[in-house]
Structure 1
Amino acid sequence: MSLPEPRSQGGEPGGHKGAEPHGGSLAGKLNWLRAGVLGANDGIVSTAGLVVGVAAATPTEQTILTAGVAGLAAGAVSMALGEYVSVSTQRDTEQAALVAERRELEVMPEAELAELEDLLESWGLSESTARTAAEEMTARDPLAAHAQVELRIDPAELANPWLAALSSAVSFTLGALVPLLVIVFAPDGVRIPVTFASVLVALAITGTTSAWLGGARRGRAVVRVVLGGALAMVVTYAIGQIFDVAV
């Protein structure tokens, strides 16, 4: 069940417990997809910068491969751990809110019914319709009704930290494989230019995808991510050249 944001009397989003999380199932799925695209983007940029920098310092394929695989593994684990901690905190917050709401329903059911009616009225329902809807929703499942209308939480779809960690690690790995495979299999003489070009194409794709998912302007999003990736590779290439000269 996905409901619109309540309106305050001034027409702005409002209602009870305004600081609590809001969002529907579709928005949640889009956020997961966007997070996956951003994870892949991180994998592309960080691994590309690493292997280009190493390749600028040494032409040894084994060294480049070792550095790339190590960077991929470290990045994937770091992304997974970060996502696990973040989503675990979100899940704990959601569960705490549900526990508090369940307690309120047990202690003051009439007040909670009136609150639900008030929320439904704020979405434009008439007083009588809101009262009927609130009574029917409460009779069916009071906790689910308040969770979805008041807290904007679906008790059946709480955030899964393990799934978040796995998806983050997988998306980072898939992105990291692009520069890693290209630089390993490209001919020695054109290894860095080919990797550079491949990475920019991959970043253009992730930039376009993230802009589409977020409803943003694609051109601006693509330029930002491509320029950022190019800058990262230029910087690490320069560092690699400095170490090559020093050696």
Structure 2
Amino acid sequence: MTDATPPPAHHQAAEGGGLGTRLNWLRAAVLGANDGIVSTAGLVVGVAGATGSRDALLTAGLSGLLAGSLSMAVGEYVSVSVQRDSETAALAAEKRELHESPEEELDELTALLAGHGLSPAVAREAAEQLTARDALKAHARVELGIDPDALTNPWHAAWASFLAFTAGALLPLLAIVLPPASARLWVTVVSVLGALTLTGWWAARLADAPTARGTLRTVAGGALAMAVTYGAGSVLGAAGV
């Protein structure tokens, strides 16, 4: 009986970690798309306040899309690279400790498993079995909360951020350049607010936050950004800047 107890608990922890990772990626994608929507919408609406030139709007929108998506990708790459370096260093330190003091590390793993609710005897047996299979992986998962087989990948994170931002930015860009001049501003505003309603709702759901409040906050922030940039563009356009 004791032989079968540890693996299910360990398997559930691994499954929970995998689910948490997937949720984090999904949340990052939603927020990246939201950033793309708001920043590009603010940019093109501001330009629309100053000029009705489709070429100017397209140039500004594409420039904002590329600058924003590349900035997001670089920032995510640097951030995740630091995280991966930290995980790699922690694993290296743990490997060294296992080599220098295996008995102390076994006692530490036993105490950690006992802290999760196992009896001392079962925790000891589980620690011995996990150590015999793969000591480093056992300590990494139980002690450090790291899965050595699924370290964060900076390139994956960079591409995900780039694509999420680009997907969000395309909506206001297309909405401002495709309709006729008389309708493009309102088409853009309605499209952006509709998209922000969806991303705000999804972000709130993923964060287990009240959806109404999260959605309203996202929509209000986007509306304020467009109003401010449009006002600034109108003033600058009227001044001939």
TM-score range, shorter chain: over 0.9
Partner of 1:142: 135
Partner of 1:124: 117
- Of 117, 128, 144, the residue aligned with 1:151 is 144
Cα RMSD over matched residues?
Answer: 1.1
Partner of 1:20: none
Counterpart code for 1:229: G
Unaligned runs of 5+ in 1: 5-22
Show the 5 A alignment for 1:45-194.
45-194=38-187
- Shift of the alpha carbon at 1:175? 0.1
- Shift of the alpha carbon at 1:70? 0.3
Secondary structure in 2 matching 1:148: helix
> TM-score normalised to the size of structure 2?
0.93
CA–CA distance in structure 2, aligned partners of residues 71 and 137 of structure 1: 51
- Shift of the alpha carbon at 1:2? 4.7
- Of 229, 239, 243, the residue aligned with 2:232 is 239
- Shift of the alpha carbon at 1:122? 0.5
> TM-score normalised to the size of structure 1?
0.91
- Shift of the alpha carbon at 1:56? 1.0
Secondary structure in 2 matching 1:3: helix
In 2, are the aligned partners of 1:2 and 1:25 still within 8 Å (CA)?
Answer: no
Counterpart code for 1:35: A
- Shift of the alpha carbon at 1:138? 0.2
CA–CA distance in structure 1, aligned partners of residues 132 and 182 of structure 2: 73
CA–CA distance in structure 1, aligned partners of residues 187 and 159 of structure 2: 30
- Of 221, 225, 230, the residue aligned with 1:228 is 221
CA–CA distance in structure 2, aligned partners of residues 2 and 86 of structure 1: 28
Partner of 1:34: 27
- Shifted more, 211-220 versus 141-150: the winner is 211-220
Deviations 1:13-68 (A, max 9, x none): xxxxxxxxxx8121111001100100000000000000001011110100100000
Secondary structure in 2 matching 1:195: helix
Unaligned runs of 5+ in 2: 1-10
CA–CA distance in structure 2, aligned partners of residues 137 and 128 of structure 1: 14
Considering fraction of residues, name the structure with more helix.
Answer: 2
In 2, are the aligned partners of 1:38 and 1:206 still within 8 Å (CA)?
Answer: yes
CA–CA distance in structure 2, aligned partners of residues 36 and 205 of structure 1: 13
- Shift of the alpha carbon at 1:3? 2.9
CA–CA distance in structure 2, aligned partners of residues 186 and 115 of structure 1: 66
Secondary structure in 1 matching 2:182: helix
CA–CA distance in structure 2, aligned partners of residues 64 and 208 of structure 1: 29
- Shift of the alpha carbon at 1:191? 1.1
Q: How many pairs does the alignment contain?
A: 229
Partner of 2:205: 212
Deviations 1:208-247 (A, max 9, x none): 1111111111101000000000000000000110011111
CA–CA distance in structure 2, aligned partners of residues 129 and 186 of structure 1: 69
